[in-house]
Structure 1
Amino acid sequence: MDNNYRTNVAKWLPPVNSMLEEWYENCLLLHKSMRKLTEEIISTTGEIESSNNCYHKNLEDILTSLEALLKDYESIKQVAYQKHPVHKYKVEHFKTLIKRRLNVVAKITRDLINDILDCKHDVLLNSIFRFVNTYNKILDLDLDVTDLSTNIFHNDCPSMIEPLKKISITRLLQILAKNRAEDYCHELIECLLANYHPEDGKTELKSTTFADAEISENSSIEIYRALTKHMTPPIASVTLPGTVISNIESIQTLVNAQNELIVNLLNVAKELSPKLFGLGAIKVNQGESRLRKAALRKATDYYQEVAWGAVSSILDHVVLWWSPEALASRHSQGALHLKDWLHQFIQANEVPPTVSPALQNLCDALGCHVTTTAWDQIFRSAYTSAFNCQSKPLSTEGTDTGQMFAELFALLVSLSNECEVGGEWVVGAPLIELPISEQIMVLHRMDHSVHMMRLWAMQEASRIAHTWDLNAFFLLVRGDLKNCIEELSYLKLADHTNALASESVNVQVYVCTRMRAKIASEVNANIQLLKDSPLKCIQTLAKICRTVSLANLHMCFPRPIYWRNNTDAAPTMQSFYVATYLEKVLLPVLEVVEDYEISNMILKIMCESWLDYIYLHRIKFSEWGALQLLTDFAFVKTWLMECSIISQTVKGHLLKNEVLRRCEGVGRLLLRHPGEAITMRKKPVRSNSASGSPESLGLERMPAEMYVPNQEQWLELRASKRCSFFCIE
């Protein structure tokens, strides 16, 4: 049936002439050769990626085949017009197949140029420009076979359907800068090492050994380790005058070497591919072609910009991560040391303008790395220590947890203050020059850390106060909180509102500046809350003091029958519980603080609790009991005067506390008879102070009973006289 079908179809087709048959055969051969050439290019690209040095011979063979392929395509490009629709369709189909295959060859050739572009060998440069010329010639052909209805989007367009563009000299410079970016990173790190310790040079690099890891001597991480080895202690080494030894010529030598490399590239391109430069870039003088100085300067400047931009994008990764054993995971302080040194190095030396942005970006990236890693480490340690109730006294200045928070704040404040300065600017830097996005990250962590520290301090202070361990309590309030507030006092946050209104900035800078202002206001609000925390902790202590006082009185206060004793002899000694009460409540405060306000507050609360305990339990007092209570109250003054750990200043304020007069007034009220009037004419007794001058009596003229509110209620606590059996009430 197939033979019959073909025979019948052949009857309807016109005869094919010999020229058309030969054209078909040539198209098939060309298609086959292009397929074979594609495979050779792909194989050579794989050898280049595997660092095989045997690919140089293959490049010459590929070039020869590629140039021959173009000649063959030129020979078959023209074909006689076919009127018959079947032959016409077949010719168009063959043309489409050839064009598509040639497009594939062009794309793979472009990838090959990207991989082999380097300036290390002049012979390879000649091959590169021959490839570029051939590639551009392919694009000069009419190879467009795309459907006009196809929409191509940059973000999801497959690489095989992207429209091809000719390679210009600027495109070659871009590719070369990208290919050599990592090498430039290594060379720059070597220059930084030479600038920090030029007398050691590479000898120190080769002699550097580490017990925990063996890494290649050419690794940038090993270079960085050698660099940071000289930075111990880091702060002292970078702040003392004369420590940084300038050898800035090494960096300038690197820049000059790059310019020489580009000049060599342009000289080869001038001879082999003059069309890449465009019109007016080359001048011919007496048969000799030369590049114009303006074109040469423009090309070198463009390459420097692109090359150091590529270096800037990967330099932090090279320094921190590109190693079998990443330095970032080994040196917790290494990045901070390098950042501090680089910051001073940029400020103190005239770094080439093309290199300075790369070093500044490295500083910013290292700052971000330090912010994330160091903050995570210190904050995690402080968090676990705080909420596992493991805070222990570290020294006389604070606890271990408080010390961790203080170190954390010192780090964040230092990083934030460095973000207030941009590049070569010390003050008044334009917004575009400031690392605002990096500062946002620092301020966000600072806001969270301050909030966390405040919550921990309030909770820990309340917990410690319930145990009445006032040494630890004031170590936290007067030590940890004070140290953290002092570290945060060094924070500098400039107001960029006026600069934002006056300067013309892009959307990113505008949004970042607004976000920084928002976070800065939250940080300031949390810092203010932290500053108010010591007072709130003292207020919490005051509330707990009443509970502690009542608990101690409950344990040691005599039974009610003790106060109804009718012994005729007046008491001469204080009760046994008074000294115990004072030693349990007041003495721990006097041992740890020299603040008369806090001591007065505790004395007032414990005496008020003493009176409240008596009144709430409705204890009845006989005349002897009232005298005994009055003696107990009077012993408080005696105890204060005899206490050797109290300074004279604090002792003077404690003895003048009105609560002592109130206690005395309660005792005297319990001795009064119903209806007995309180005399207001008390003869003043003047006493001389230590300086010999008479002291002002002030409110001492007023009787003690007048300090007692609700006197009638206290009079109800007097015990009635014992009646005989025959008494009738």
Structure 2
Amino acid sequence: MSNKVASKKWISEETNEEEELFNHCREMQMVCYAITKVILDADNKWRGSPGKTSVYSLSNRSYIMELVNIQVLDQIIEYLAKLVKSFYKLNPRLARLKKVNELVQSKHDHVFASLCRARFVMLQAMLALVTTILNTCLHRDDSRKMIESCLSLIAIYNHLLGLSYKAFAAKFSICSNAYPTTISETRTVTLTKIVQILAKSRAEVNCHRLINCLVKVYKPGTSSDDTSSSAGDSLEIYHTLTKHITPPTSTMSRELTVEKRREAFIEHKKAKMKQAQSMVEAKNEQNRRLSQAMIGQNSDCDVEYTSLLTNECVLDVVNTEENVNAILQSEEKYIEILLDTVANMAPSLLGANGVRKLKSGRIQASKKAAHKVTEYYQNILWGDVGSCLEHIVLWWSAFPLATRSPNTSQNLREWLFSTFSVNNTPELVLSALRILADALGCHVTSTSWDKLFGATLTTNLKVTSLKTHPDLSLYVTECTASGASFALMLQQLVTLNNQCEVTWEYILGAPIEDLPIVEQIPILHRLDHSIHTYRLWCLAETRRLANLWDMDDFFRVAHNDMQLCMEQLVNLRFADHSIAIESGQIGVHENVCAKMREKLVSEVKVNIQKLKEATEEIVGVVSSVCATTSLAHLTMVFPSGAVWRRVGAPPQPSHSLYVREFLDKMLLPVVKATADVTTLNMVLRIMCESWLHHIYVAKVKFSKDAAVQLLADFNEVRVWLDDCKQLPAAARKQMLQNEVLRRCEGVGRLLLHAPGDLLAMQDSTSQLARRQEEESAEQLMPAEMYVPNQKQWLTLRANTFRGPLAFTLCCIVLC
């Protein structure tokens, strides 16, 4: 059996070509891992490379290490170029490999998967190194050399991705779930990606340069008309801007002024560029194109430059060395360097017809391609500058603007709107300032609303004068503390909403694409919630105060606070964009945001209408409470039926004691609290109707003498109104003409008649006779005619008894 096994081959042997191919794959795999380690080490060194040195000497360790890093980078590029050739030679051999049996196929798949994994890891390391160098190259004096190195690495990277063997192009692995760039398939690096990385690397620098310009424009204290509060806000804004001119971690830069730092930067840049130039020329003696580019140049910033974009707009108020236009032009110089390098090293990145050859033989980017790349770079750059501005101004310092009062951020935002416009600021810079303004608006929306809404959570009815807030109202002079808090909150939200309805170019009719709808949506959410909350608070508080019959606070809440808040909502502005939405010519994101805005606007309008209707509900509450309280009070103070039967004819009829007590309890608090004639007449009417209702329901029987007494009690209301000093003359006149007083008088006169008597319409009381000359013809109608149910009232007249029954009743009553 052993001889049989030894003589028969169970496993087919590999051919020499297959064995050589598999060994080559293993060697390639080890080379990939080795070069990956070198690339990762180089990436770490470039990340920690200072980029700038103050001393150019061989004794300076950081300078020597930088030279070593550049040399290592060149060696990596040279070795990777050889590796690409090896991969391209390996492709046809892998394609020609014949898998005669499953074992060879399995071995091939295993070796090939390992090689693809090593290649994928190496590609990720190369991409990380390219990103690191691109993030730092524009901050270096030898930026042209670094861009050339990056283009060489990118060319190798793209070649490795574009191998002819389809399995290589499709095969990729996931190295780590914690590394997001390895989760998806790798893609080629295009010029668009390069420009994006370069633009993002320059965002923070240009952010500080823009803040320098803002500081020069912003000069607090120049206006003598400013109040102390506005001057304080100006100083806070100035402090905020100057606080963030330099990074807080740089102690040396804090000690130097802006001018000294600029001079030191220029001198350092020139010296470093001369040193870098000699180094680059020594390492690139055979590169004629690079040598020609460097002839006669002291630095990259000395390249002769013609703006590729139209930037004629300059801030008129900035007459300094560094202005906005200078910032834009200096950034375009970096793009000029990039375009020149790409056109000569990797023209394919510029696409078809992206380059042109000059008469001198030099290759240059076409005007169309150069304009497109420059415009894209500036748009990405200044968009990132706007985001960086938000971060620096709001959050980056020991005392950030976000920790201060929201009024400071709002003042800075309003200053940006009032100072910068399309007439004096380039569009690119204006877009960055617009991002900052929108970010400040979102910050003010959240912080101010949280602060003001928190103040409304606790009811405070303390009387507050509006002298400290003169812009809240033209008519209301005092209100409650809670009412003032609600009014300030609504005013702030209304102001922020109205600012979202305009743009830097339009005051009215701005296109929906230009409006900051994303920033307006949270404002409308808060506005809708605030109006709803105020309405519920006002209804609950007025009901509570009405039940306590605390008329001072009641009318302060129902009238003053309500009018104050309604005045803020009158200033709301909502543009109608229904035509633009229905046309369908706007983007998907704008369409969704616009529809959300329309929904919120409709909800805000509904809540405003409910708030207006809440006045009627408050009137209904106070009417109900007034009627209930009046009846309850009359139940306690109105004389009983037995007392009215004992009433004898006084020599001079005078009012009962309960009348003034009733008026002082119910009507006097209302008179002291408000001068609104409609409300005073309403309360007087409800009180008198409750008075009559109590008499009618109690079925009090009145003799003729008691009817005279009741008539005197009714007439005492007129006397009380005449004597009330707190009542304005105009209100007194109208209240004396209230029909309910004539109705009460008519009831008293009806009770003077026995049932079945004929009513003499020409009779009148002496008090009415004295007023007839002053009353209108309509009021000369007899008082009995104001009583709708005369027969029912006549039933309350007590019958006249004679004989023993009357004597017995009198004894019972007197006992």
Q: Shorter-normalised TM-score: what interval?
A: 0.7 to 0.9
Alignment check: 8 A CA contact 1:437 1:512 kept: yes
Return the alpha-carbon distance in structure 2 between the equivalents of residues 566 and 687 of structure 1: 24
Cα distance change of structure 1 residues 516 and 169 upon mapping to structure 2, 3 Å threshold: closer
Out of 95, 105, 126, which is 2:122 matched to? 105
Normalised by the length of structure 1, the TM-score is 0.83
Give the letter aligned to residue 636 of structure 2. Answer: M
The answer to whether structure 1 residue 671 and structure 2 residue 756 are counterparts is no
- The match for 1:650 is 731
1:654 Cα offset (Å): 1.6
- The match for 1:394 is 464
1:259 Cα offset (Å): 0.9
- The match for 1:159 is 181
- The match for 2:329 is 256
Query: Residues 473-496 of structure 1: CA distance to partner in whole angstroms, max 9, x if unpaired?
Result: 111122111011111111111222
- The match for 2:247 is 218
Return the alpha-carbon distance in structure 2 between the equivalents of residues 25 and 151 of structure 1: 22
SS of 1:433's equivalent in the other structure is coil
Give the letter aligned to residue 472 of structure 1. Answer: D
1:398 Cα offset (Å): 1.1
Alignment check: 8 A CA contact 2:133 2:146 kept: no
Alignment check: 8 A CA contact 1:198 1:245 kept: no
The percent of aligned pairs where both chains have the same amino acid is 35
Return the alpha-carbon distance in structure 2 between the equivalents of residues 704 and 134 of structure 1: 108
Cα distance change of structure 1 residues 8 and 62 upon mapping to structure 2, 3 Å threshold: farther
Q: How does 1:102-251 map to 2 (within 5 A)?
A: 102-117=119-134, 118-123=137-142, 125-141=144-160, 142=163, 144-145=166-167, 159-160=181-182, 162-197=184-219, 217-219=246-248, 246-247=317-318, 250-251=323-324
Alignment check: 8 A CA contact 1:113 1:128 kept: no
Alignment check: 8 A CA contact 2:46 2:69 kept: no
Alignment check: 8 A CA contact 2:528 2:604 kept: yes
C-alpha RMSD of the superposition: 4.2
Return the alpha-carbon distance in structure 2 between the equivalents of residues 500 and 206 of structure 1: 42
Out of 61, 66, 69, which is 1:58 matched to? 69
- The match for 2:677 is 596
SS of 1:431's equivalent in the other structure is coil
Return the alpha-carbon distance in structure 1 between the equivalents of residues 653 and 563 of structure 2: 47
Cα distance change of structure 1 residues 44 and 157 upon mapping to structure 2, 3 Å threshold: closer
Cα distance change of structure 1 residues 346 and 680 upon mapping to structure 2, 3 Å threshold: same
Alignment check: 8 A CA contact 2:422 2:505 kept: no
Q: How does 1:250-399 map to 2 (within 5 A)?
A: 250-278=323-351, 280=353, 281-322=355-396, 327-347=401-421, 349-382=423-456, 384-386=457-459, 390-395=460-465, 396-399=477-480
Cα distance change of structure 1 residues 255 and 344 upon mapping to structure 2, 3 Å threshold: same
Return the alpha-carbon distance in structure 2 between the equivalents of residues 563 and 24 of structure 1: 126
Number of equivalenced pairs: 692
Return the alpha-carbon distance in structure 1 between the equivalents of residues 380 and 627 of structure 2: 73
Query: Residues 533-572 of structure 1: CA distance to partner in whole angstroms, max 9, x if unpaired?
Result: 3343233222211122223223332343321115354453
1:207 Cα offset (Å): 14
Query: Residues 326-361 of structure 1: CA distance to partner in whole angstroms, max 9, x if unpaired?
Result: 532434223222221112223375211222222223
Out of 424, 429, 433, which is 2:510 matched to? 429
Return the alpha-carbon distance in structure 2 between the equivalents of residues 24 and 679 of structure 1: 133
SS of 2:421's equivalent in the other structure is helix
Return the alpha-carbon distance in structure 2 between the equivalents of residues 631 and 207 of structure 1: 72
1:156 Cα offset (Å): 13
SS of 2:464's equivalent in the other structure is strand
- The match for 1:42 is 40
Out of 81, 85, 88, which is 1:74 matched to? 85
Give the letter aligned to residue 337 of structure 2. Answer: N
Query: Residues 687-711 of structure 1: CA distance to partner in whole angstroms, max 9, x if unpaired?
Result: 9999xx9545424443323322333
Out of 699, 702, 707, which is 2:781 matched to? 702
Alignment check: 8 A CA contact 1:578 1:632 kept: yes
SS of 1:347's equivalent in the other structure is coil
The answer to whether structure 1 residue 418 and structure 2 residue 435 are counterparts is no
- The match for 1:241 is none
- The match for 1:238 is none
The answer to whether structure 1 residue 514 and structure 2 residue 595 are counterparts is yes
Alignment check: 8 A CA contact 2:203 2:385 kept: yes
Query: Residues 98-118 of structure 1: CA distance to partner in whole angstroms, max 9, x if unpaired?
Result: 454233222211111111212
Once the two structures are overlaid, the 10-residue window that deviates more, 663-672 or 701-710, is 701-710
Once the two structures are overlaid, the 10-residue window that deviates more, 267-276 or 461-470, is 267-276
Query: Residues 632-679 of structure 1: CA distance to partner in whole angstroms, max 9, x if unpaired?
Result: 112211222222232322222122222222222222222222321101
Give the letter aligned to residue 246 of structure 1. Answer: V
Return the alpha-carbon distance in structure 2 between the equivalents of residues 150 and 215 of structure 1: 45
Alignment check: 8 A CA contact 2:216 2:318 kept: yes
Alignment check: 8 A CA contact 1:130 1:272 kept: no
Alignment check: 8 A CA contact 1:308 1:355 kept: yes
SS of 1:432's equivalent in the other structure is coil
Alignment check: 8 A CA contact 2:480 2:561 kept: yes
Cα distance change of structure 1 residues 561 and 315 upon mapping to structure 2, 3 Å threshold: same
The answer to whether structure 1 residue 467 and structure 2 residue 484 are counterparts is no
Give the letter aligned to residue 107 of structure 1. Answer: Q
- For structure 1, the 5+ residue unaligned runs are 224-243
Alignment check: 8 A CA contact 1:106 1:135 kept: no
1:13 Cα offset (Å): 2.7
Query: Residues 113-159 of structure 1: CA distance to partner in whole angstroms, max 9, x if unpaired?
Result: 1112121224354244224324423532526535969999xx99963
SS of 2:357's equivalent in the other structure is strand
SS of 1:333's equivalent in the other structure is helix
SS of 1:317's equivalent in the other structure is helix
- The match for 1:230 is none
1:682 Cα offset (Å): 4.7
Return the alpha-carbon distance in structure 1 between the equivalents of residues 15 and 583 of structure 2: 82
- The match for 1:458 is 539
The answer to whether structure 1 residue 567 and structure 2 residue 648 are counterparts is yes
- The match for 2:528 is 447
Give the letter aligned to residue 160 of structure 1. Answer: T
1:179 Cα offset (Å): 2.4
Cα distance change of structure 1 residues 207 and 644 upon mapping to structure 2, 3 Å threshold: closer
SS of 1:252's equivalent in the other structure is helix
Return the alpha-carbon distance in structure 1 between the equivalents of residues 426 and 449 of structure 2: 33
1:406 Cα offset (Å): 0.9
1:84 Cα offset (Å): 8.6
Alignment check: 8 A CA contact 2:344 2:364 kept: no
SS of 2:420's equivalent in the other structure is helix
Return the alpha-carbon distance in structure 2 between the equivalents of residues 206 and 618 of structure 1: 75
Return the alpha-carbon distance in structure 1 between the equivalents of residues 529 and 237 of structure 2: 44
- The match for 1:237 is none
1:402 Cα offset (Å): 1.0
